[in-house]
Amino acid sequence: MAYTNALSAYRETRIRTASQGQLIIMLYDEAVRQLDSALELMGLNASEKKEPGRIEHIGKAIGKTQDIVTELMVSLDFEQGGEIAKSLFALYTWFNKELLEAHISQNLSCVAIVRNQINELREAWSEAALKAAEAGRPREGVNIAG
């Protein structure tokens, strides 16, 4: 019980102290995790009849991913983001459409395509956040000798 509380407190602190870029990366990370879970469940005995329990877990994982994508959509700033924000909005809309269709049809390849594209976006955001952090750091080390 204490371990669960400590882990929960750590996660909450990590989220509260994260930069905007880090929060977006965390959302992408969770979306990839959820889609990996769905893919794993969909891939198990793919040729056999789907078990209702497995279908429910697949649906929950896809639903959580759709919630994350929707959160990413509403966080877009169209004034500052311009064409990039419009393009991301269109891409996020497409992700949610594909995920809905994948859930209905239990289509493994649709989920895999969305998962790979979300992971590519995650990598791009990670690189951008790293460059932004490096730009904010002084180029030379601190001289402690005075």
Q: How far is CA 22 from the centre of its chain?
A: 11
pLDDT, tens digit, 9 for 90 and up, residues 21-69: 889 999 999 999 999 999 999 886 555 566 777 889 999 999 999 999 9
Q: What is the rounded radius of gyration, in angstroms, for the C-alpha atoms of the chain?
A: 19
All structural domains of the chain with their residue ranges: 20-132
Helices (H), the chain: 2-17, 20-43, 52-74, 78-105, 108-136
Reduced to 3 states (helix: H, G, I; strand: E, B; else coil), residue 144 is coil
Q: pLDDT tens-digit profile of 73-123?
A: 999 999 998 999 999 999 999 999 999 999 999 899 999 999 999 999 999
Predicted pLDDT at 8: 58
Fold of the CATH domain 20-132? Four Helix Bundle (Hemerythrin (Met), subunit A) (1.20.120)
Q: What is the pLDDT of residues 64-81, one digit of tens each?
A: 999 999 999 999 999 998
